[in-house]
Amino acid sequence: MDIDTFDDQGWSPVTSKAHILLIEDDRETADEIIRDLADRGYMISHADNGRVGLERACEGKYDLLILDRMLPEVDGLSIISQLRAEDVRVPVLFLSALNDVDERVRGLKAGGDDYLTKPFVLSELSARVEALLRRPAEPRTTRLRVGPLELDLISREANRDGRPVELLPREFKLLEYLMRHPAQVITRAMLLEDVWNYRFSPQTNLVDVHIGKLRRKVDAPGDFPMIYNIRNVGFVLREPQ
Amino acid sequence: MPPCAPASAGRRHPAAWLTRLTTRPASQRAPATPSHDRWYEIARTTSFRLAIVFACFFAGSSLLLFAFIYWRATVFETNRIDALITEDARTLASEDQDAILALINTHVTGDFHRVGYAALFAPNGSRIAGNLEGVPPGLPIDGKVHVVRAARIDLPAMGAIDVRLTARRTASGNVLVIGRNGQYMVILREVVVHALTMGAIPAMGLALAAGMFLAWRTQQRLKEVHRAAERIMGGEVHERLPIAGMSPRDELDRLSLLFNGILDETERLLGEIKATGDEIAHDLRTPLTRVRARLERTLKGDMGPEETRETVGKAIGGLDQALAIITALLRIRELENSKRQRGFTTLDPAEVILLIEELYQPIAETKDIAFAIDITPVPPMFADRDLLMEAVGNLVDNALKFTLPGGRVTLALGPREGDGATVIRVADSGPGIAAHERDLVFSRFYRSDRTRHLEGTGLGLSLVAAIARLHGMAPRVGDNNPGCVVELVAEGTSIVRPPAGGIGGD
């Protein structure tokens, strides 16, 4: 890998003051999630059944909900439907042991913002949590800017410090996604899902190759690198430091 | 081998887990004890019931037959007797007085069976000779046979009974009465009843005995079948139902043969599952053993921080590999079990091809492989976009993996010559797949010996096959001279199939 590599732990999210409600009945899973997210600086509340979870979610003081699909008393789908019915707009990340395309579609249809199938790697969860907590870039914007890097969404041109960066359409797409999520850890699965709508992990190091090619164009020799590899997790694009 | 690796766990009873799979706890099973152990249970068997029905039918028809014989015999005998007495009376009446008297005496004295009636009366009604008191009242003197009550004076104990009599005037004006009583009917009835008891009742008994024997025999065979079935349910998957082996085969044998056929197929499938299980175990053990060794090395603590980090990173990579295998297995099972097509929409497969090309082109470039697409427009397909992408992606992934630098991979979409069926074709210039291996590549974990060293879950093509089947497409492997061609052929059925229950609806 010709990309500068960091360890996951060395990366502290910018969104760490956020307050997250975790509704999960499995004690062990909940402990793991709580410990990992607390280490990353988040405040976590935990409810271990659907009824309590729904009551607390309705208080409206949380920035994000992590919601298990199968819960005692009130299940995840009902919780999200009721929340959306009462106009609680908090982002929701679904967790489910059901690795079924249908289930995913259902979860997202009911009002979920992202969907993660158990078992998952904790770094995947935290990357998605961060992505959900970030405010999305102004959707009507026509120019994206991260440090010296600029992307014109109309003319579909990119430049760094005024120097044009020639991009293939697929590279443009990838860079646009990264620039909409600056200084954020993006996992391979997130890239595949969001950039190519590809929901399954390929056997080859597909994403790494794409990022490698993009990085060679964005980070020219002599430049401070902007695209980093986070070991075993994914990638991040940030201002050169 | 690390010291605590389960070297031969599960080896001792290779079929033990199969047994667990196939055998429910005894408490959940249907009552397994056959209830045909007691003698009276024979009465419940089909053969015995049939024997009873048969015996009843036999008895009924015997009765009918005998009744008919009895009736016909009675009619015949009555007519014969009537003719006899009419003739006797006519002959006697024409004789002179002495001859008549002599004959009446002979008639009466020679009557050992006490059936005869004969008498001569004067015109005033007084008896001249014979064994009747007088002309029985109600008997017209017309020479015809009538049934009248009459009593024999020589046998007062017999009393007045119905007698067939005829009366006729003799030439001298006397009245001659001749007749016979119904004693012969009694005899006839006795004969018939005797025949019935001596013939029909033993025959019925025989029928019942035969029925019981057949029932018992069938029961014995069923018991054997039942025992065999219990052994099979107990996990002895090699056990088969017994065949009596008579020729031509009876219905029980034919049924057993059918079930044995089902058992053969089940055993084959179980064997396949078991083989797959072994392969899963093997394919998982390899990366896990490596992970273990790496972690053990890290635990020793004599590595620098950079080396430690790298070793742990590789260990995580190994675990990811193991997880990828498990995930792929679960997906295949899910796809194989899925009969639903909820995510199906009508789409242009060309979109999928273009996206796959975009996704995989950089890999091809990195590996110095010429990756080209060739799209001929085809009609829209009814398909799950994500799944179709996964299938095509897997094929391209495979092709790129097995093709050497400088080689080429082509992804083509187009109608098949002839019937115009939509074909997605991935051709490479890799090592190809030997003809004898072509059927095997779509089964789980199959890897050609030549490709065994390459990384991968070994499940890609099984996944492709499962997705293809869900789409009503046939996966095929062919020769690309050199290299290999994999085709997914939508053979008519899946092209724009109207959704049954609304696309994506819950």
DSSP states of B19-46 as a string? HHHH---GGGS---S-S--SGGGGGGSH
For the ranges A17-31, A35-49, B230-244, which has the lowest average pLDDT? B230-244
The pTM is what? 0.60
Class assignment of domain B338-490?
alpha beta
pLDDT at A233: 83
- pLDDT-derived band of residue B500, with 50, 70 and 90 as boundaries? very low
What does the pLDDT average to over B186-206? 81
Residue B368 has pLDDT above 90, yes or no: yes
Residue with the bigger pLDDT between A15 and A159: it is A159
Q: Looking at the domain A8-133, which fold is it?
A: Rossmann fold (3.40.50)
Distance from CA of A61 to the nearest CA of B (A): 32
- Residue B505 near residue B340 (C-beta atoms within 8 A): no
For residues B455-473, average pLDDT: 78
Give the lowest-confidence range in A191-195, A224-228, B326-330, B369-373. B326-330
**How confident is residue B494, by pLDDT bands cut at 50, 70 and 90?**
very low
- Which range among A50-64, A134-148, A159-173, B462-476 shows the weakest confidence by mean pLDDT? A134-148
Query: What pLDDT score does B2 carry?
Result: 41
Report the gap between the CA of B214 and the closest CA in chain A (Å): 56
User: What is the mean pLDDT of the segment spanning A77-101?
Assistant: 84
Angle at A180 between CA A165 and CA A206, to 5 degrees: 70
Largest CA distance in chain A: 59
CATH 3.40.50.2300 region(s) of chain A?
8-133
B393 contacts A200? CB cut-off 8 A? yes
pLDDT beyond 60 at B243: yes
Length of chain A: 241
* pLDDT, mean over chain B: 78
Residue A137 confidence class, pLDDT cut points 50, 70, 90: low
pLDDT tier for residue B484 given thresholds of 50, 70 and 90: confident
Q: What is the CA radius of gyration of chain A?
A: 19
Contacts of B347 (CB under 8 A, 6+ apart): B380, B381, B383, B385, B388
Inform me whether the pLDDT recorded for B487 exceeds 50: yes
Task: Return the higher-pLDDT residue of B362 and B158.
Answer: B362
pLDDT score recorded for residue B37:
54
User: In terms of CA atoms, which chain B residue is nearest residue A200?
Assistant: B390
User: CA-to-CA distance for A131 and B146, rounded, in angstroms?
Assistant: 123
pLDDT of residue A175: 94
Which residues of chain B are within 8 Å of residue A199 when distances are taken between CB atoms?
Answer: 386, 390
Instruction: For residue B167, give the DSSP letter.
Output: E
Beta bridge partners of B381: B347
On the question of a cis peptide bond just before residue A119, with omega within 30 degrees of 0, the verdict is yes
3-state helix, strand, coil in chain B (%, to 5): 55, 15, 30
Bridge partners, B129 (sequence order): B120
Nearest CA-CA partner of A174 in B359, B167, B482: B359
**SS in 3 state form for chain A?**
CCCCEECHHHCCCCCCCCEEEEECCCHHHHHHHHHHHHHCCCEEEEECCHHHHHHHHHCCCCCEEEEECCCCCCCHHHHHHHHHHCCCCCCEEEEECCCCHHHHHHHHHCCCCEEEECCCCHHHHHHHHHHHHCCCCCCCCCEEEECCEEEECCCCEEEECCEEECCCHHHHHHHHHHHHCCCCCEEHHHHHHHHHCCCCCCCCCHHHHHHHHHHHHHCCCCCCCCEEEECCCEEEECCCC
Least confident of A35-49, A159-173, B238-252: B238-252
CATH of domain A137-237: 1.10.10.10
Cα–Cα distance, B335 to B372 (Å, whole number):
30
pLDDT band at B209 (very low <50, low <70, confident <90, very high): confident
Instruction: Choose from B339, B366, B371, B463 for mutation: most chain A CBs within 10 A.
Output: B366
Determine the distance in angstroms separating the CA of A59 from the nearest CA of chain B, rounded to an integer: 30
CB atoms within 10 A of CB B26: 9
Q: What is the pLDDT of residue B22?
A: 43
Q: In this structure, are residues A151 and A129 in contact, taking their beta carbons and an 8 Å threshold? A: no
Please report which confidence band the pLDDT of residue B13 belongs to, taking 50, 70 and 90 as the band edges: very low
SS3 B248: coil
Chain B residues with CB inside 8 Å of A204's CB?
A: 363, 397, 400-401
Percent of chain B exceeding pLDDT 90 equals 8
What is the bridge-based pairing of β-strands B422-428 and B408-415? antiparallel
Q: By percentage, how much of chain B surpasses pLDDT 70?
A: 84
In which band, very low, low, confident or very high, does the pLDDT at B424 lie, cut at 50, 70 and 90? very high
pLDDT at A4 over 70: no
What residue has token string 């959704």?
B499
The answer, yes or no, to whether residue B204 has pLDDT greater than 90, is no
More confident residue, B450 or B239: B239
- Joined together, the tokens standing for residue A166 give 């020639």
> Which pLDDT belongs to residue B285?
84
B360 vs A contacts (CB less than 8 Å): 206
Sign of the alpha-carbon torsion through B35, B37, B42, B43 = negative
At CB < 8 Å, which residues of chain A contact B? 7, 99-102, 105-106, 109, 119, 169-170, 196-204, 206, 209-210, 212-213, 231-232
From B436, B318, B331, B310, select the one nearest B386 (Cα to Cα): B331
Q: List B166's β-bridge partners, or say none.
A: B145, B178
Q: What is the mean pLDDT of residues B6-29?
A: 42
* pLDDT tens profile B54-112: 788 888 888 898 889 888 888 888 888 889 888 888 888 888 888 888 888 887 777 77
* pLDDT tens sequence across B441-461: 676 555 554 454 455 566 778
H-helix or E-strand spanning residue B363: helix B349-366
CATH code of the region B248-334: 1.10.287.130
Contact B144, B85 (CB under 8 A): no
Residues of B with CB under 8 A from a CB of A: 309, 313, 316-317, 320, 323-324, 327, 330-331, 334, 340, 342-343, 355, 358-363, 365-366, 384-387, 389-390, 393-394, 397, 400-401, 455-457, 460, 504, 506
Residue B462 is predicted with a pLDDT of 80
Classify B486 as helix, strand or coil: strand
List the domain boundaries for chain B: 36-239, 248-334, 338-490
pLDDT at B12: 41
- What are the tens digits of pLDDT across the range B289-306? 889 988 988 888 788 888
* Per-residue confidence (pLDDT) for residue A186, from 0 to 100: 92
Q: Do B355 and A213 touch (CB under 8 A)?
A: no
pLDDT at A33: 93
Q: Closest residue of B to A7, CA-based? A: B309
B327 with A101: Cβ contact below 8 A: no
Residues of A in contact with B385 (CB under 8 A): 197
Q: What sign for the dihedral angle of Cα B17, B19, B21, B25? A: negative
